[in-house]
Structure 1
Amino acid sequence: MEISNYMREEHRSCDEAFAKAEQAASSGDFKEAFKHFEEFMIDTLKHFSKEEEILFPTFEEVSGSTEGPTQVMRYEHGQVRELLEQLKNAIDSEDKERFFSVADTLMILLQQHNMKEEQMLYAMCDRLLAPQARELVEKMKEH
């Protein structure tokens, strides 16, 4: 449970920053929206980095598989990165309509992505990586 709890908390933290960006954009305060969006983007990309550089390689090594869930998650990370860039452009141009169009797409993708990670991949990690869970979480905290 240690890995899934840590990673789930990161998902929630990112969700909160994104909600604040949406609230600010909704009221037309794009300066404030950018501040919260930037926090969301940095935290999300840092989270992806922890997964791609620490968690996924360890999972793949122990499970003996580079196909399957980690490959799907990496692909979805790429989709999220593209949407983040589009969202940043919408904020930069103060395009509220474009912002919410991209934000809706991003939120649907992230909700589905996070659910797959939390219900499947992290549970698998908790089982397979239990002996090194504490060490992995510490490594990710330092990353």
Structure 2
Amino acid sequence: MSSAIETLVRQHRDCDQALEDLEAYLPNPDWVAAAGAFARLDAALLGNFSAEEDRLFPAFEQAAGSACGPTAMMRHEHDEVRALLENAREWLQLRDANALAAELDTLVVLLQQHNLKEENVLFPMCRARVPGIDALLANVG
């Protein structure tokens, strides 16, 4: 596995951990800690999406000669995650632990499925097709 891909996979795990940390504050809500954990989750996800959408996906699309393949689906799923994050942000601001927990449950499932597709399908395709992938993703995360 290239070091660039390892970095993206590590980012996925960091997002998973941030989400787990946030969920841990909800049974007996600690809203200050939950807000801090949410900020870490938001930054981790958006940082990962930026690395993928701004660097990796365009390079793959150029190498593959199409923007209609797996990267289009990954962008769509990123948009779904962003929408769930916005919903979660609202529930956090309203201090509704049950609604926030439900939103996070949906986010967990979506991210698990999304990360599996990236890590087992898209990333191997990128390794095979994108020349200079490590340099392309240097200084990410």
Coarse TM-score class (shorter-chain normalised): over 0.9
Moved over 3 A (4+): none
Distance of 1:27 and 1:10 partners within structure 2: 28
Equivalent pair of 1:14/1:43 in contact (CA under 8 Å): yes
Query: Does the Cα contact within 8 Å between 2:55 and 2:137 map onto a contact in 1?
Result: no
Asked if 1:78 is matched to 2:111, the reply is no
Alignment length (residue pairs): 140
Give the letter aligned to residue 135 of structure 2: E
Q: Which amino acid aligns with 1:136?
A: L
Q: Whole-Å Cα distance in 1 between the matches of residues 22 and 140 of structure 2? A: 26
Please say if residues 54 and 140 of structure 1, whose CA atoms lie closer than 8 Å, have aligned partners that are also in contact.
no
Distance 1:125 1:140 in 2: 16
In the superposition, the TM-score normalised over structure 2's length comes to 0.95
Listed as ranges, the gaps of 5+ residues in structure 2 are none
The residue identity in structure 2 corresponding to 1:67 is C
Supply the AA of the counterpart residue of 2:97: K
**8 Å contact kept, 2:7–2:140:** no
Instruction: Extract unaligned runs of 5+ from structure 1.
Output: none
Does the CA contact (< 8 Å) of 2:42 and 2:85 recur in 1? yes
Residue 19 of structure 2 aligns with an amino acid whose one-letter code is F
Paired position in structure 1 for 2:134 = 134
More helix by share: 1
Q: How far does residue 139 in structure 1 lie from its aligned partner after superposition?
A: 4.9
| Aligned equivalents of 2:40, 2:18: Cα separation in 1 | 6
Counterpart of 2:39? 38
Q: CA deviation at 1:4?
A: 2.4
Q: Amino acid of the residue matched to residue 62 of structure 2? A: E
Question: Identity percentage over the alignment?
Answer: 37
- Structure 1, residues 28-59: CA drift from partner, whole Å, max 9, x if none? 10110110111111110111011111100000
